[in-house]
Amino acid sequence: MSNEKKQKKPKVKPGRLEKREARMGYLFVAPWLIGVFVFLLYPLGQSFRYMWYNIRITPVETKFIWYGTKNFSQIWLENAEFPQGLVTYVWQTLVEVPIIVVFALIIAIMLNGKIKMRAFFRLLFFLPVIIVSGPVMNMLVSEGAATIPAMNVQSIISAFGMFLPQSVAESVGKIFSNMIMILWYSGVQILIFLSALQKVDPALYEAAKIDGGSGWECFWKITLPTIKPMVMLNAIYTVIFMSGNEQNELINMIKNAMFSGTKEKGYGYASAMAWMYSVIVTLVVLLFFLLLGSKKDKYDREFKRRMRRRRRQERLQIRIQRRSERNARKFANDIRRNKYKTNDGSNPDY
Amino acid sequence: MKKRIVALILLVAMVLGVVGCGKPSSSPAPTGSDNPNPSTDPGEQITLTFWSYEDETTAKLMAEKFMAKHPNIKVETYIIQDMSTDLSAAASSGTFPDVFEGTDSDTALANMYWLDISQYFDADPENKNLMKTVTEYGIGCFDTKARYAVPMMFWPSAVFIDRNVIEKLNLKMPRTDWTWAEMISLIKAATVDDRSGMKYYGLGYYNRLDSLYGIAACANAERAIKGEFGFNGEDFDLQYWAIGEQEFSDLKLNGYVAPQQETQEMEDWSGDWNTWFGATGHVAVFSEGSWTFQDLWNQAGYQEQYGLDIVPYVTPNVVNEKEHNVIANMYMGGVSTSCKHPAEAYELLKFMGWGVDGWNARLDIYEDMSIVNDSGIALKHSHMPYPLTLDEGIWTRFKKLFPQDEDHAKYWNDYFSSIVRPVPYGWYSIAGYWNFCDQYFNNIGIHDLVDQGKAKAADYVLEATERANYYHAEAMISYFGPDGYNILTADELAKFKAVVDAAAK
């Protein structure tokens, strides 16, 4: 079997149809490829280069003045807002992402049930996705649409302040004051959960019901484990969305730095900020990945462990066999040369 | 076949999109100093782009009047939304305007947006009749020998008094050439809370009093203050600012200053979060931008509606000098370094800004109340600037746009005669000012700390003076040294480097 695997596949010259299909494939993928190169890889490389320079874009030329790590030191030593903004971002993301994901899951389960006007409600919950994109959301936020008027945020901060440090209490208060906006961010996640829920095999629920499983037990034993990969997907999607949308203070800070004409700021300074920010975002994504990454089930883990143990034993067997052969050869040589001695120094006569 | 066509359409759309986003090729244009005599033939058709903060209708009408005078020049106007964003995007895409107006000089100087227009400005006899500080203090020269900008839109600061409030409180109107101490006394006397109704406040502010005080603080013989924070053209001295800052803070802390719009204090006082103190009839003195009068108070029926009788006052002098400097908003205009027709651009700049011809055209527009902007407002009520020229004819016409009845004429005439020595806010005229504010002053939050009584202004004088000098020196090296316009002499460069090095130590 293993020898068969090692054998190379015979080369078959692709036919005309296959070639044409491949060409069509490349043609369809070409816009995306061009997009990636022009709008992702090239700007990425460019911003990586920019962060080492102070860049002045005059009306007649672009001046690159070598700065080395000065952009970074200026950001950390002279810009009080950016480090503070990073801390706030991490804290808010860690708190808001679970809220959004859990809310989206609850709504998705409700929308998946048999309710009247189901299609209308599904549409209703997806509407904010259209509204939150672009300046409409900015307008709504500035008009106070992101807050719940009846909610006394100050009281919440005071209540949390009794047992939490003031800065933490204020961050929690900020979450409450933006509660509507946080929930508005759930549209896409609801859609993803909905499609996952619809793919759960109804036979599983049926079997569970026959065995007397309640709805609560079905959720924990069937629904959640089945859609677990989607939880991670949604959490990561939410982190990425929250890290790059127009309401994000750090994004605005970077944008302002980019267009700022002051001598320290500009494209170089903004690039340095953006790279540091992207490192932090990557770490946050990694954290959610590690927390929610799908672990194999117990049987699978046990099977793999046994396989590993078996392979280890096989390797050991091979080593023992080789050593025995080596010792046997040595023993035979010693006897042949009459050099073999027992432990007490005697020379047995073979 | 169908698939192939769809794929091709997608690809072409993508490529076109990418090409469309690209920067148009443009060869570097000569700078004004390289090219003193532009080679524009008389009669040759040229197009100039003019970017400003004007009312859009006014800008278009002014451009039309300029084009009528210069038939060979086509002017395209654009209203700037945000200076840094708009101009840096234009510089990146090669669509930089020929003439533009800026509110933040650091941005323009750091990126070499402005061309040296000394040769045009110095050779123009009309410029000798501008308000004296423009040439005396080199406003627009940024303490160099070259001129990069000229104040285009000018609004002096003003102190207004509501005569009705003074009358209601049985107080006496102060003399028009009052002093700083008299103003503070009036503010205190006019703060009355008899618990029978809305409290009367002595002061409602837009401009902080420390800005006014810092400029008018001392006699020229003591220190010729050419800019905010006691700037004399070479270095800063914040001791003058500190006195004004502390005095203003004390007024706020002791309840002499009316609450600001959209605050809880305003809601508690007036019952409405959105009330503006200038529309309550319960504030005596206002430190406002001069545009507030025409844009709001002078609109038909406004003062009658709120029971106001607003008159302007001279920004009081601290040392009782008859002719003293007053702080002002002065948007700087200049010709860009990418402009291919600097001589014509200078003419456009002057016409749109301070020139007598331009002002006559402007006054024609303002006097005609039937000309309105998109919001239906007559143009004199839409951020009308003040003339920078001292031309008598212009001022005679300009004054007629303000109340000239027997009751009010004296106040206005005295006010107009007191604003002939304007000094711009720091961000218009001092290199490195914005860096100082951004990275030190506002970063620490000095205004807030002093206003809340958490710190004394005097505590910051030494450190802030040293930092201000550092940021200024650093900016001068950066803007005008070898990496910038490269016009500093070795001695000047060494002097600024010494300041930077001393601060670094």
Residue B29 has what pLDDT? 38
Interface probe with A: pick from B3, B112, B116, most Cβ of A within 10 Å: B112
Between CA B346 and CA B334 the distance in angstroms is 8
Contacts of A29 in chain B (CB under 8 A): none
Nearest to A58 among B13, B84, B111 (CB): B111
Query: What was the pLDDT predicted at B355?
Result: 95
Confidence of residue B396 (pLDDT cuts 50, 70, 90): very high
**Quick check: A56 and B112 CB within 8 A?**
yes
| Span B466-470, average pLDDT | 94
Pairing of strands B310-313, B99-102: unpaired
Contact present, B387 and B394 (Cβ < 8 Å): yes
Residue B315 has pLDDT above 60, yes or no: yes
Q: What is the CATH number of domain A70-257?
A: 1.10.3720.10
pLDDT tier for residue A168 given thresholds of 50, 70 and 90: confident
Provide, as residue numbers in chain B, all residues whose Cβ is less than 8 Å from the Cβ of A31: 10-11, 13-14
Q: How far apart are CA B92 and CA A62, in angstroms?
A: 8
pLDDT recorded at residue B438? 85
Q: Please, what are the domains in chain B? A: 155-327+417-491 (3.40.190.10)
Q: How confident is the model at residue B28 (pLDDT cuts 50, 70, 90)?
A: very low
pLDDT tens digits, one per residue of A275-285 = 999 999 999 99
Query: Tell me, what's the pLDDT at B18?
Result: 47
Please report, to the nearest 10 degrees, the dihedral formed by the alpha carbons of residues B450, B451, B454, B458 taken in order: 20
Compare CB distances from B4 to A24, A34, A263 and report the shortest one's residue.
A24
The ipTM, to two decimals, is: 0.75
Percent of chain A at pLDDT > 90 equals 42
Residue with tokens 């790059």: A244
B21: pLDDT strictly greater than 60:
no
- Chain A positions touching B105 (Cβ under 8 A) are none
Chain B nearest-CA residue for A78? B439
Cα distances from B265 to residues A130, A157, A230, B353, B448, in angstroms, run: 38, 21, 49, 41, 16
CA atoms within 13 A on the CB side of B498: 6
Task: List CB contacts of B379: < 8 A, sequence separation 6 or more.
Answer: B55, B57, B58, B61, B365, B366, B371, B372, B373
Q: For residue A36, how many other CB atoms are within 10 A of its CB?
A: 13
B475 min Cα distance to partner chain A (Å) = 8
Question: What are A112-132's pLDDT values in tens digits?
Answer: 988 888 888 888 888 877 766
Q: Which residues contact B350 (CB under 8 A, 6 or more apart)?
A: B124, B126, B150, B358
**Structure confidence by residue, pLDDT tens digits, A226-235:** 898 899 999 9
Predicted confidence at residue B409, as pLDDT, reads: 93
User: Is A297 in contact with B127 (CB distance < 8 Å)?
Assistant: no
- Residues 6 or more apart in contact with residue B226 via CB below 8 angstroms: B133, B137, B232, B233, B423, B429
All structural domains of chain A with their residue ranges: 70-257, 302-329
Chain A interface mutation, best of B111, B337, B433, highest count of A Cβ atoms under 10 Å = B111
The pLDDT value given to residue A72: 93
Spatial separation of the C-alpha atoms in residues B458 and B450, rounded to whole Å: 10
**pLDDT for residue B37:** 46
Cα dist. A14→A11, A19, A22, A26, A348 in Å?
9, 6, 10, 16, 72
Contact indicator for B399, B416 with CB cutoff of 8 Å:
yes
Nearest CA in chain B to A22: B4
CA B90 to CA B144: how far, in whole Å? 27
B93 touches A: beta carbon within 8 Å: no
Which of B 158-217 lie inside 8 A of A, CB atoms?
Answer: none
